A and B are shown apart, each in its own frame.
Chain A
């Protein structure tokens, strides 16, 4: 794993040196609060919990995480630094993982900055901290899956916009597959077991359980396996791009 930490560190610092980072954090925090209080009718629910807040994370991530990850490889290819990085004596997988971890850590910072929400619910009542902790854990894992997909699409092109659009679309499919409305439509066409299988591929399905405080190993394995699979594909794409 030689080179992992310096690559991680450089990438993370690069985030905080671009204005995009601050724009992202501000938009994320504002949208998170906005969705919770306005769309989610937080006060009407009369519950001191963050369940409503987490409800919107799959939708927020749909646009925000591709924006965080789109530069990971596209920018390296555009500026030529990819050639520099990939001719250093470091395995491609280490570079991919290091850059991914940096993006993930950046998202973790944004998530941590939502702490006023925790303070708010504690001020308003006596929330059960279990679902709050699992909600954050699940949200973080899910963010990793979004980011791994974006890292992969970013390796496909030197154009960040194309990378963004591709990953939004892939993630949208993965969100929609578990969306109740779509499942009902699918139920009219396919047998129920098939619809269930399809919805098992969705972010929403696996995140919903964790969001409610139920930590099932299968849900964690789902997100981790998406991350690992997408990062491996990412490595393959980088190596084959070099070959052609």
Chain B
């Protein structure tokens, strides 16, 4: 479990992180979102005791980052942003090195190295020199390194960066599988990833926390929440637009490009982002329209992200 209390970091006059507070419980995957330079990596570096905070504190499984850095580091598996590793080493040798530094030896160490090689599907590359590996393999090597001591807390800075879609899927599966008995904090640019793996997401901008909630809670802030995109044929366009606008629950109607079949396509925004799908359906049936497409949106995270991070 991670508890962050008013954590701040200043570089000279630049306020990189400004009094951020949040908690991550065991069993949770918290997604850390924000534009480049928002302070995601800086926060992670403070949590892993690489950078000391200017003020504030954080506790990792009860250990303070200010006064018990070594204990904190024992708890954490950390994947830094650029996934660094010693290029001249072989994959297995590198993982063995990390295991040795963390205090393992003998058969236990060999077993742990074998396990993380398997978890990250690196068995076939274990004798390869890291320098000769592709970006995706290096990323996974560094991820494997963070798992070697089976840590209760994982801090992963852009874990799927540079991976192809299949590898991304694999890593997300791995994160989800591991999340049950662990506390996981991941940062990402990829918004779909938040919906795919995170139980909650936190959005920061210019060092400040601007949004926190489950993906669904964040999506409910979107103007696309419960908007319905529909394509119908059978009646002249203008009349339909007028009729839809006349409905009580409808906030506005936007005309989109017609379907190839010539069907009229519109997006209907509901008032107060309430669901209007059943009302719409009844209305269209009453008007004896042929529905070619009917699609209800959950909301768009990229739009919420832009709104929160670009200010008003």
What is the interface of chain A, defined by CB distance below 8 A to chain B? 2-3, 5-7, 9-10, 14, 17-18, 79-81, 83-84, 86-91, 242-244
Q: Which of B71, B84, B89, B98 contacts A83 (CB 8 A)?
A: B84
Nearest-CB distance from B10 to chain A (Å)?
A: 10
Name the residue of chain B whose CB is nearest to the CB of A244.
B11
Q: Is the CB of A242 within 8 A of B78?
A: no
Q: Is the CB of A6 within 8 A of B97?
A: yes
Q: Which 5 A-B pairs have the closest CB atoms?
A: A80-B84, A6-B100, A89-B73, A3-B101, A87-B48
Nearest-CB distance from B210 to chain A (Å)?
A: 27
Q: Is the CB of A87 within 8 A of B86?
A: no
A102 to B142, alpha carbons, bound, how many Å?
24
B307 at the interface (CB under 8 A from A): no
A14 to B82, alpha carbons, bound, how many Å?
21
Q: Is the CB of A87 within 8 A of B98?
A: no
Nearest-CB distance from A239 to chain B (Å)?
A: 8
Q: Is the CB of A81 within 8 A of B85?
A: yes
A83 to B11, alpha carbons, bound, how many Å?
17
B residues near A9, Cβ cutoff 8 Å: 97
Q: Is the CB of B89 within 8 A of A242?
A: no
B159 at the interface (CB under 8 A from A): no
Q: Which of A18, A83, A91 contacts B88 (CB 8 A)?
A: A18
Most buried by B among A3, A79, A87: A87
Q: Is the CB of B50 within 8 A of A83?
A: yes
Q: Is the CB of A242 within 8 A of B73?
A: no
B176 at the interface (CB under 8 A from A): no
A residues near B196, Cβ cutoff 8 Å: none
Say what secondary structure dominates the interface of chain A: helix
A-B contact pairs, 10 of them (CB 8 A): A3-B101, A6-B101, A10-B86, A80-B82, A81-B84, A83-B84, A87-B76, A242-B50, A243-B52, A244-B11
Say what secondary structure dominates the interface of chain B: loop
A14 to B97, alpha carbons, bound, how many Å?
12
A9 to B96, alpha carbons, bound, how many Å?
12
Nearest-CB distance from B53 to chain A (Å)?
A: 10
Name the residue of chain B whose CB is nearest to the CB of A5.
B100
B289 at the interface (CB under 8 A from A): no
B74 at the interface (CB under 8 A from A): yes
B55 at the interface (CB under 8 A from A): no
A residues near B103, Cβ cutoff 8 Å: 2-3
When A242-B51, A244-B11 are in contact, do A83 and B80 touch as well, CB less than 8 Å?
yes
Q: Which of B51, B76, B88, B142 contacts A17 (CB 8 A)?
A: B88
A79 to B81, alpha carbons, bound, how many Å?
12
Q: Among residues 48 to 84 in chain B, which have CB atoms less than 8 Å away from a CB atom of chain A? A: 48-52, 70-71, 73-74, 76, 78, 80-82, 84
B45 at the interface (CB under 8 A from A): yes
B interface, size bucket: 20 to 34
Name the residue of chain A whose CB is nearest to the CB of B69.
A89
Nearest-CB distance from A73 to chain B (Å)?
A: 14
What is the interface of chain B, defined by CB distance below 8 A to chain A? 11-12, 45, 48-52, 70-71, 73-74, 76, 78, 80-82, 84-89, 97-98, 100-103, 142, 145
B residues near A242, Cβ cutoff 8 Å: 50-52
B residues near A80, Cβ cutoff 8 Å: 80-82, 84
Q: Is the CB of A84 within 8 A of B80?
A: yes
Most buried by B among A79, A86, A88, A243: A88
Q: Which of A5, A17, A88, A244 contacts B98 (CB 8 A)?
A: A88
Name the residue of chain A whose CB is nearest to the CB of B82.
A80
A90 to B48, alpha carbons, bound, how many Å?
12
A242 to B142, alpha carbons, bound, how many Å?
21
Name the residue of chain B whose CB is nearest to the CB of A83.
B80
Q: Is the CB of A87 within 8 A of B82?
A: no
Name the residue of chain B whose CB is nearest to the CB of A79.
B84
Nearest-CB distance from B141 to chain A (Å)?
A: 11
Q: Is the CB of A87 within 8 A of B49?
A: yes
A7 to B86, alpha carbons, bound, how many Å?
12
Q: Is the CB of A7 within 8 A of B101?
A: yes
A100 to B257, alpha carbons, bound, how many Å?
68
Q: Is the CB of A84 within 8 A of B74?
A: no
When A14-B86, A83-B45, A83-B84 are in contact, do A89 and B70 touch as well, CB less than 8 Å?
yes
A6 to B99, alpha carbons, bound, how many Å?
9
Q: Which of A17, A18, A79, A91 contacts B70 (CB 8 A)?
A: A91
Q: Is the CB of A88 within 8 A of B50?
A: no
A residues near B73, Cβ cutoff 8 Å: 87-89
A73 to B224, alpha carbons, bound, how many Å?
51
Nearest-CB distance from B200 to chain A (Å)?
A: 24
Q: Given A83-B80, A84-B78, A87-B78, 13 more contacts at CB 8 Å?
A: A2-B101, A10-B86, A80-B81, A83-B45, A83-B50, A84-B85, A84-B145, A86-B50, A87-B48, A88-B73, A89-B71, A90-B101, A244-B11
